Structure 1
Amino acid sequence: MATLEIDRVRKAYGTMEVLKEVSISIGSGDFLVLLGPSGCGKSTLLNMIAGLETITGGEIRIDGDTVNDLSPKDRDIAMVFQSYALYPTMTVRQNIEFGMKIRGVPTAERERATRDAAELLQMSHLLDRKPSQLSGGQRQRVAMGRALVRHPKLFLFDEPLSNLDAKLRVDMRTEIKRLHQRLGTTIVYVTHDQIEAMTLATRVAVMKDGIVQHLDEPQAVYDRPANVYVARFVGSPAMNIIPGRLEDGPSGPALVMDQPNGGESRISGVVVSDDARQRYAGQPVLVGIRPEGFSVSAGGPDCVEAMIEVVEPTGPDTLANFTLGGTDVIARLAPLAVRAGQTAKLAVETAKVVLFDPKTELRID
């Protein structure tokens, strides 16, 4: 286990800057997920931690030691790639042992480490098979076993589940979570899948265009996203971002959003700071409401009147589509709670409403 500090790290290819002063710090035993779309710089950052890419500026420190100029083999890291990178002519046992054999690890120690890793990953019965005889999930376990036997300070995973089908992804996600809980290892994991980030991470760094947009615990990123980009990227369906305005009255702050019929919906009881209340009173704001923040209500003064346009039953719940504030909105409701063409009264869980500045798109605190 090790700490990891990424201190104002930059990466440029000529005049094109891929990473722009990225700073991230995690403790020993943390599981950091670098989350973002293709091209955001997350894999480049992982490769720089591994020593596979040079650093243009800043420092990377593992357990307090600067590793900028160290070769990959001297950083005491192990990496699991998207492609399994197994030797096709070797058995599973030989693939796991190969790195130890190259480093001159004694035979007995190699055999013990391979046996322990195979038991941990539940693949002892596969040790004498070749990679061509394995499923995708089994091959990924072999790649993980090869990394485990090194007992490195830091594990690096580069989108390890992206080549697997949906069922295998869920199974392997559980295996990786179980592995982290058992070993308490420090892990950096790259993915574009926000479900993987939410379920695996102790810390999530959401990236866009080479910049960390939000770094925090997964639930904090979900509940209180730093900006509109994070709000829309994390969550499925994404957080609804609805144009509205903040009004301040004798009973406290309230949100007003336009209805398609020319009327307005007014939601009181919104939690805002005194400073935000003063600065944004009477001003436009962007109202962030997660789909599950709506619920069917019998009516009342603080409900949204929604003409349900489309209903999507998912089994455990129903996704209801309607228009509010001139934008498409999705509510996650109880099964069969509404039907298409129905006008429904929807209550809003005001404690979980997040407001954003319409110009900067940053969260209003």
Structure 2
Amino acid sequence: MSTLEIDRVRKTYGNLEVLKEVSISIGTGDFLVLLGPSGCGKSTLLNMIAGLENISGGEVRIAGKVVNELSPKDRDIAMVFQSYALYPTMTVRQNIEFGMKIRGIPPAHREKAVRAAADLLQITHLLDRKPSQLSGGQRQRVAMGRAIVRQPKLFLFDEPLSNLDAKLRVDMRTEIKRLHARLGTTIVYVTHDQIEAMTLATRVAVMKGGVVQQLDEPQTVYDRPANVYVARFVGSPSMNIIPGKVEIEGGALTAVIDVANRQAARIPGITLSSQAASKYANRKVLVGIRPEMFSVGNGQTQGAVSVDVDVVEPTGPDTLAVFQLGGVEVTARLPPRQVSARTPATLSVDTSKVVLFDPDSEELMN
């Protein structure tokens, strides 16, 4: 049985449709990340799962039970907010045990649960402090501890790391992943940060305009994005989307890309179904190449591309090289010191991971 089923859920505000028949199903122990930019509907969907927003259409089921009309307290969920939502006049211990106290759980059981959560989150030494005496990361741990002691069927995280600085965000990301591994609880997590999505999720739902564009494992979303929007949103730098065309040479597919003032680049070994190959042969396509698919090659390498490097951006472990292909700006991720700005370079492409998109629908071609 799925822990969470979102079945054709809609949300409207007057004539404005914010969510458009969203359907998602995840099993026990899954870590679902709702990923997308501001305004895509991900937080609205999370609030509907939590019972903080009414549902305009469809059903939300938790452990097989329809919860559309249930109040948040009756849904067996625990939510961790972006703002921590701690009571400032209470100690850490009191904040963590407050929900249990309201539900009438005996003091001895409350103390045991608080100790277990504090040990797990390494905040035992903070139990007698007030929230004002804690750092942002410590407050987030307290908020997580308050959720853990409820032992819910479902954890909901609403952009919990967005208020933290970059270093602490990385540390807390690791803590959340470790927490999920230890507890095995089902989590739904909202973020606009695709690095968080890739590192934390077992399933990613990429959203745009109230529609799920792709729901899949993180690596599949990265390697085979469902459309150009997903390709550009997931990955940093994002996937290069380059106008080109497909030609058949000796029964094999080759992507052909124009290069200014040079011979066209020919990238062989493109994989498509026979049906798609016959449909798109000698037609325009969009060629998707991740920056790391480029490597420094030579003129004899099959699929070598000769370019004029415009800008070089050293990042330490690698270098980003920017140049023109197919009339658009393209970025390659290369080892340090292998190319220089305003000089020609010959690059090879890992053709096994090149993907093609229909130029009209912008959908992935299979």
- Displacement of 1:299 in angstroms is 2.1
Measure, in 1, the Cα distance between the counterparts of 2:294 and 2:273: 23
Q: Which residue of 2 aligns with 1:302?
A: 303
Q: Distance in 2 between matches of 1:333 and 1:262?
A: 22
Q: Is the 8 A contact 1:2 1:154 kept in 2?
A: no
- Identity among equivalent positions (%) equals 75
Distance in 1 between the 2:36 and 2:50 partners? 19
Counterpart amino acid of residue 297 in structure 1: G
Partner residue, 1:250? 250
Deviations 1:258-282 (A, max 9, x none): 1111531111111111111100001
Residue 312 of structure 1 is matched in structure 2 by 313
Match of 2:65 in 1: 65
Quick check: 1:324 aligned with 2:332? Answer: no
Q: Would you say how many aligned residue pairs link Structure 1 and Structure 2?
A: 365
Q: Output the amino acid matched with 2:237.
A: P
Q: Tell me how far apart the structure 2 counterparts of residues 347 and 253 of structure 1 sit (CA, whole Å).
A: 17
Deviation per CA, 1:135-188: give whole Å up to 9, x if none: 000000000000000000000000000000000000000000000000100000
What's the counterpart of residue 222 of structure 1?
222
Q: Deviations over 1:71-93 (max 9, x none)?
A: 11100000000001111111101
The reply to whether residue 237 of structure 1 matches residue 240 of structure 2 is no
CA distance in 2, matches of 1:245, 1:295: 22
Matched-pair contact (CA < 8 Å) for 2:298–2:304: no
| Residue in structure 2 matched with residue 55 of structure 1 by the alignment | 55
Equivalent position of 2:98 in the other structure: 98
Decide which moves more: 40-49 or 247-256. Answer: 247-256
Letter of the aligned partner of 1:318 in structure 2?
Answer: T
Q: Which residue of 1 aligns with 2:16?
A: 16
Distance in 2 separating the partners of 1:155 and 1:6:
15
Q: Is the 8 A contact 1:2 1:153 kept in 2?
A: no
Give 2:359's aligned residue: 358
Q: How far is the alpha carbon of 1:337 from its aligned partner?
A: 1.2
Alignment partners' CA distance in 1, 2:183 and 2:299: 52
Alignment-mate amino acid for residue 227 of structure 1: N
Alignment partner of 2:128: what SS? coil
Amino acid at match of 1:117: A
Secondary structure, counterpart of 1:129 in structure 2 = coil
Once residues 364 and 240 of structure 2 are traced to their aligned partners in structure 1, the CA distance between those partners, rounded to angstroms, is 14
Is the CA contact 2:262–2:306 (under 8 Å) kept in the aligned structure 1? no
Contact 1:86 1:131 in 2 (8 A): yes
C-alpha separation between the residues in 1 aligned to 2:137 and 2:37?
Answer: 24
List per-residue Cα deviations over 1:34-90 (Å, max 9, x = no partner).
000000000000000000000000011111111111111100000000001111111
Find the residue that maps to 1:358 and give its secondary structure: coil
Counterpart residue number, 2:169: 169
C-alpha distance in 2 between matches for 1:259 and 1:117: 59
Which moved further from structure 2: 114-123 or 270-279?
270-279
Q: CA deviation at 1:127?
A: 0.4
- Cα 1:2–1:359 change in 2 (3 A) is closer
Partners of 2:2 and 2:25 within 8 A in 1: no
Residue type of the alignment partner of 1:156: L
Match of 1:282 in 2: 282
CA distance in 1: counterparts of 2:305 and 2:138, whole angstroms: 50
- Residue identity matched to 2:330: V
Quote the Cα distance in structure 1 between the aligned partners of 2:305 and 2:298: 11
Moved over 4 A (4+): none
Distance 1:302 1:136 in 2: 50
Alignment of 1:35-184 (within 5 A): 35-184=35-184
Cα distance per residue 1:286-332 (max 9 Å; x no partner): 00000001000022252111111100111111100000000000000
How far did 1:335 drift?
1.1
Amino acid at match of 1:259: V
Unmatched tracts of structure 1, length 5 or more = none
Distance in 1, Cα, partners of 2:310 & 2:206: 33
Give, in whole Å, the separation in 2 of the partners of 1:260 and 1:128: 67
Whole-angstrom distance in 1 between the partners of 2:2 and 2:157: 16
Determine the C-alpha separation between the residues in 2 that align with 1:251 and 1:302. 17
TM-score by length of 2: 0.98
Return the letter of the residue paired with 2:109.
E
Contact 1:2 1:29 in 2 (8 A): no
Q: Does 1:260 align with 2:260?
A: yes
Q: What letter corresponds to residue 355 of structure 1 in structure 2?
A: L
- Cross-structure match for 1:34: 34
Shift of 1:2: 6.3
Cα distance in 2 for partners of 1:336, 1:83 equals 44
Query: Could you tell me which residue of structure 1 aligns to residue 6 of structure 2?
Result: 6
Unaligned runs of 5+ in 2: none
The whole-number CA distance in structure 1 between the counterparts of 2:139 and 2:272 is 51
Report the CA distance between 1:251 and its aligned residue. Answer: 5.0
Secondary structure (helix, strand or coil) at the match of 1:161 reads coil
Deviation string, structure 1 residues 105-152 (Cα, Å, up to 9, x no partner): 100000000000000000000001111110000000000000000000
